[in-house]
A and B are shown apart, each in its own frame.
Chain A
Amino acid sequence: MTQTPSALRLARITKRFGALTANDDISLELGSGEVLALLGENGAGKSTLVSILFGHYVADAGSIEVFGQPLPPGDPRAALAAGIGMVHQHFALADNLSVLDNILLGTEALWLPFSRRRAARDRLLATARRFGLSVDAEARVGTLSVGERQRVEILKALYRGARILILDEPTAVLTPQESESLFATLAQLVAEGLSIIFISHKLDEVLRVSQRVAVLRAGRLIALRETRDTHKAELAELMVGRSVSLPQREPRERGPRVLHLQGVSATRGGRRVLDALDLDVHAGEIVGIAGVSGNGQLALAELLSGTLAHSAGTLTLDDQALRADPRDRVARGVARIPEDRHAEGIVGDLPVWENAISERLHTPAFSRWGFVRQRAARAFARKLVARFDVRLPGIDSPTRVLSGGNMQKLILGRALCVRGDAGTPRFIIANQPTWGLDIGAVAYVHRCLLDAARQGAAVLLISEDLEELFAISDRIAVMFKGRLGPARDAAAWTLADVGLAMAGTPHGGQHAA
């Protein structure tokens, strides 16, 4: 690597947020035409580092050079002008605007009396052709699929003439096949002379696409390896820094049917979001639901959580109908773990103890004559916090100050204690329960779900992370466009099959009519 001229040089970058040192003295070089993987857990400092690179943050110390020129800190415009392009994990696109509008923004001087849209369109299509990325310039972004949006994001950077492309967890939302096509695109970009920083926490991918791997842990650059000189086990150990063994699925007794869906459909805002779903989940088993984000998983989770009503079909728990009411779920012993901790899981401004009882507030355990039984509630919250090892300043502090992992433990604890002292929940609906957590917290959540299943709970796990699904699910089903495929034994699926099903092609690549 020493022979190629460097595209990007980071020197001794340090960034602190209060007491936390997010980046600690990081020096790194990106060669021209190189794919450098930035590997690390959630919270290791990857996002902070690229945010500094892109001018969203200013480093407390250190400097950046792009193609030999110093990059002024804290100015996204300077980063763009220097040829740095960023593909965000959560796409930075406006749904209500057209593809062309999204790409055109910021490329013309603001005082011009008119946009040169036609010329821009031609240039966009030429760029798209050159890199083999097809796109409809006039389509509203809101109507595009996830994969198409990612293409728009990449084109946005290329349109501006990016020479260095940063991709933040680009495969998190893609099917395995879409990921393959992304890798092909990356190869073509490199062949055209672009340099790429590929951020990920998935080891296989990193080994697959990169020439070198930089491993970050707790804000520090732990290791820098030539990809061909390293292997998965070494990278895993470097990344985590300690041996965390993720719990694995174990053989369990499958009990009677608990959850039963037959022909269940649901609509939201006049749009059909669930289309004739059939599914049974039995006591003591974990059923995983795979799918590309936005194919109805959220609606399924809401249906089972009681916040979305079904418009057709049968939905029963222990052979009794379920009503669209979260209280009904709580009364029936359903543990619910929502996708978005901050938006749905907790009320950040309220104290921890109030959040700990919020879903059982109306039960006699915590209220009498319309008054809250504060002593009982606090006692329960203290017990919960101790049992699920939630680290916090106190049960009276506002819940928003908790870290992501601790917040998730609080929600998990609240859900698993849904029956109070009466034991394990009958049914657990967990939607992306490990999203954004570090490996220790992930292991904890998996352990809890496996334990609950062993004690007889029926578990439905919705996840976009196929590794997670394969690790702990007994059966897996795939959602696509509001429909749910058959739940087959996890062992009967191959990764490729799941990928095809996620893209809407049933049964191992045979094209549907």
Chain B
Amino acid sequence: MMDFLSSLGDMIASVPFWVATLRIATPLILGTLGVLICERAGVLNLGIEGIMVAGAFTGWLAVYHGAGLWTGLAVAALTGALCGALHALLTVWLTVSQHVAGLGITMLATSLASFAYRVSFPQVSTPPTIQPFAPLAALQGIPLIGPVLAEQTALTLGAIALVPLAAWFIYRTPAGLALRMAGENPAAAEGQGLDVLRVRGAAIVGGSALMGMAGAFLTLSAFNAFFMNMVNGRGWICVALVVFASWRPGKALLGALLFAAFDAAQLRLQQDGGALPYQLYLMLPYVLSILALIVMARRAAYPQALMKPYRKGER
């Protein structure tokens, strides 16, 4: 027992553990913020899983065809925004079921990415690669956290920097207030001269752009190629993390880091040739997500109008 605790302590004190944690957390931070913005406006976006796949693919494809990495990121964001626009059209203007529309978008974006990949690369045996974002070696000199940050790319730092920006946006700007009002009481927002449908639509488009970037992190930073199953449930985990975070950006960052730390730990245990079959370690993220939902269930303060379509003149 003591052995186990001390080896756990060693792991937590080690640089590679924190490097892995931040890397795993990055797409979760971006994706969770994306879901959070949609849900604050009152719309569930289960399209995230597919939007991440599509963003990972288009961002990578752009870079593969010679675009810069930042352009690739922008392409991924645009892809996400387009998927978001479709989601907004379906759920906000046409008011169809948010659950089913989101799943449909996931299925559509995933299958389109696979289709386009096959059309673009009909016969490849090994996946084509690109030169991904480079680590920020210059940060090595920062005391204490320097060695960890030096292994990260600009996307990770950007994702973390986005958290206070998102919090500022939601709590301190008129647009953020409009967003919250649209998710709490859309009829009241309309009565104050706000176009609820546009506010919700904009939130979904913006949130989905973040999801697209979350996907692009996988192909442009974490790896250097596109694989069909590379998102592998990360999108659903983000949906769970938003509940865990009580719809607050700061807590979302905390949740993503906590979650990533567990994931990094299980990877480490796996590599150390843990006593248990590797599948059990791989289950951990999904089981943890479910547990997070259970733990927060009683405390969850949902936006009051979440999943309630707004139709003008209906009360």
Q: Taking beta carbons and an 8 Å cutoff, which residues of A are in contact with B?
A: 51, 54, 56-57, 76-77, 80-81, 86, 88, 90-97, 101-102, 104-115, 156
Contact = CB atoms under 8 A, between A and B. Distances in A.
Interface of A is mostly: loop
B66 interface: no
Contacts of A108: 174
24 contacts: A51-B313, A56-B312, A57-B313, A88-B191, A92-B185, A92-B187, A95-B304, A96-B304, A101-B180, A101-B181, A102-B181, A104-B177, A105-B174, A105-B177, A105-B181, A105-B188, A105-B194, A106-B192, A106-B194, A110-B178, A111-B175, A112-B174, A115-B174, A156-B192
B193 interface: yes
Contacts of A104: 174, 177
B1 interface: no
Interface of B: 168, 172-175, 177-178, 180-181, 184-185, 187-194, 301, 303-304, 312-313, 315
A94 B184 contact: yes
A94 B189 CA distance: 9
B173 A115 contact: yes
B181 A110 contact: no
Given A92-B185, A92-B187, A96-B304, A106 B173 contact: no
A156 B180 CA distance: 18
A56 B192 CA distance: 11
Contacts of A91: 188
Given A56-B313, A92-B185, A94-B184, A101 B191 contact: no
Which 4 residue pairs spanning A and B have beta carbons closest together? Answer: A106-B192, A92-B188, A94-B184, A77-B193
> Which of B168, B173, B177, B190: most chain A Cβ within 10 A?
B177
Given A76-B193, A80-B193, A105-B192, A94 B172 contact: no
B185 A76 contact: no
A76 B190 contact: yes
A93 B313 CA distance: 16
Nearest to A56: B313
Given A56-B313, A77-B193, A113-B173, A106 B178 contact: yes
A102 B191 CA distance: 11
A51 B315 CA distance: 13
Contacts of B304: 94-96
Given A56-B312, A111-B175, A115-B172, A94 B191 contact: no
Contact of A80 (B168, B178, B192): B192
Nearest to A51: B313
A132 B172 CA distance: 29
A106 B193 contact: yes
B312 to A, nearest CB: 7
Nearest to B169: A113
A109 B174 contact: yes
Contacts of A77: 193
Contacts of B180: 94, 97, 101
Given A76-B190, A94-B188, A97-B184, 15 more contacts: A56-B312, A80-B192, A80-B193, A92-B192, A93-B185, A96-B304, A102-B188, A104-B177, A105-B178, A106-B189, A106-B192, A108-B174, A110-B178, A112-B173, A114-B168
A5 to B, nearest CB: 26
Contacts of B312: 56
Contacts of B189: 105-106
B202 to A, nearest CB: 9
Contact of A95 (B184, B190, B192, B313): B184
Nearest to A92: B188
Contacts of A105: 174, 177-178, 181, 188-189, 192, 194
Nearest to B175: A110
Nearest to B199: A110
Contact of B191 (A57, A92, A111): A92
A232 B172 CA distance: 52
Contacts of A156: 192
A111 B202 CA distance: 13
A209 B180 CA distance: 37
Contacts of A97: 177, 180-181, 184
Contact of B184 (A96, A107, A112): A96
Contacts of A81: 193
A96 B301 contact: yes
Nearest to A78: B193
